[in-house]
Amino acid sequence: MKAYLNQLPSLVSQKKARLFILSGDEPLLIQEASQLLRNILGNEGFSGRELFMIDGSFDWDSILFENNSFSLFAEKKLIEIRMSSKTPGDKGAKALQELFKNSDEDTAVIVIIPKLEARVLKAKWFKDIETLSTLVQIWPVSEKDLPKWIADRIKRAGLDATTEAIAELSKRIEGNLLAASQEIERLKLTVDNRQITSDDIKESVSDNSRFDIFRLVDTVMKGDVSRSFRILEALRAEGVEPLFICNMLSRELKMLETIKFDTSHGKSLSKAIRDAGVWETRKNLVSNAVDRLELNSIGKMLLVTGDIDRVVKGEQIGDPWTSIQDIVLAFSGTKTCLTSL
């Protein structure tokens, strides 16, 4: 069944729902939705959590082994599966079908998957698991609704802002909700107990190295390797976390992957870009990147972003900065060890 976020507490407590699919491409909204669901399930006793990050070399049998294993303390457990790709492959599809069919009442499952397309929704493996679970689709905030989203977020943070300040922040972040959220948290620390003005936003942004990441992303999208490397080194020197940069690049790659897939299946480029929610000011930038990159190269770069995430979290050995440089090179269309895999 399909559900909205605000329906989850009653679904879990009253109807004992415990199998969930969260779908969407906006990192902040997915992050907050998954945390909300973990909290709700935690209140129902699902305290043990096993997290599985899915990439091309993942062993799907490990999930089935975990599902069939017994806890020494007889606690309810949560299996959380994070997929970087829209499809799990044949082996993954069979594993998910078996997991959803055979998990008992002491096991909850959350599958987090990128934005679902029609072909996935129609696939047999997905229909099978959707029938047994609750599907929550997380939609992006539109350009028109962004000011209201920011205003609500500011209010939730205990702050007040002028209409001009909200408009200024909306313009600066260009639809990136994670950046907006972090900027609001920054304002909580820097603005005294008064109304936030547009000048506060301008001053904060000009003094905020995180907004240099927007320049980095746009420069990477242009394929300008030398300038991208200069900005990247500056961000590293300023102490910006590589995972934040990785998340920004991953967001762009998922968007490009969707557009490339749509155009390869007959949709016009302009409509594919529009359907992906690309802002007017970035349409030429995105169009050029779509023309330059192959779909398989985009997929390989997305796999690397998953590697970076695991390295930063200590789950894998590697250098996140070197991997980010590899992505920058691949974005430009340069042949690298990454794109030749």
Are residues 104 and 158 located together in one domain of the fold? no
Give the least confident one: 116-125, 188-197, 328-337: 328-337
Are residues 236 and 194 located together in one domain of the fold? no
Residue 323: inside a domain: yes
- Which domain range does residue 193 map to? 146-207
pLDDT at 125: 95
pLDDT digits (tens, 9 = 90+) for 28-73: 899 899 999 999 999 989 988 888 988 777 899 999 888 877 655 5
Give the least confident one: 13-17, 69-73, 82-86, 231-235: 69-73
Residue 336: inside a domain: no
Are residues 239 and 116 located together in one domain of the fold? no
pLDDT at 197: 93
Are residues 220 and 324 located together in one domain of the fold? yes
pLDDT digits (tens, 9 = 90+) for 116-163: 888 899 999 999 999 999 999 998 888 889 999 999 999 999 999 999
Residue 23: inside a domain: yes
Write down which residue in 207, 226, 249 finishes a domain: 207
Q: Which stretches of the chain are assigned E, i.e. beta strand?
A: 19-23, 46-54, 76-83, 107-113, 134-137
CATH number, domain with residue 192: 1.10.8.60
Mean pLDDT of 102-128: 91
pLDDT at 341: 42
Inform me whether the pLDDT recorded for 339 exceeds 50.
no
Burial group, residue 295, by CB count within 10 angstroms (0-12, 13-18, 19+): middle
Are residues 158 and 131 located together in one domain of the fold? no
pLDDT digits (tens, 9 = 90+) for 14-25: 778 899 999 988
Are residues 22 and 90 located together in one domain of the fold? yes
Total number of domains constituting the chain: 3
Are residues 10 and 54 located together in one domain of the fold? yes
Q: Which residue would you say has higher pLDDT here, 269 or 280? A: 269
Write down which residue in 88, 119, 137 finishes a domain: 137
pLDDT digits (tens, 9 = 90+) for 236-258: 877 888 998 998 899 899 999 99
Are residues 65 and 116 located together in one domain of the fold? yes
Residue 271: inside a domain: yes
CATH number, domain with residue 228: 1.20.272.10
Give the Cα separation of 164 and 38 in Å (integer).
Answer: 37
Are residues 13 and 124 located together in one domain of the fold? yes
Q: Answer yes or no: pTM beyond 0.85.
A: no
Give the Cα separation of 258 and 261 in Å (integer).
Answer: 5
pLDDT digits (tens, 9 = 90+) for 284-326: 889 999 999 999 999 999 999 999 989 988 888 999 999 999 9
Are residues 318 and 248 located together in one domain of the fold? yes
Give the Cα separation of 171 and 165 in Å (integer).
Answer: 10
Residue 274: inside a domain: yes
Residue 243: inside a domain: yes
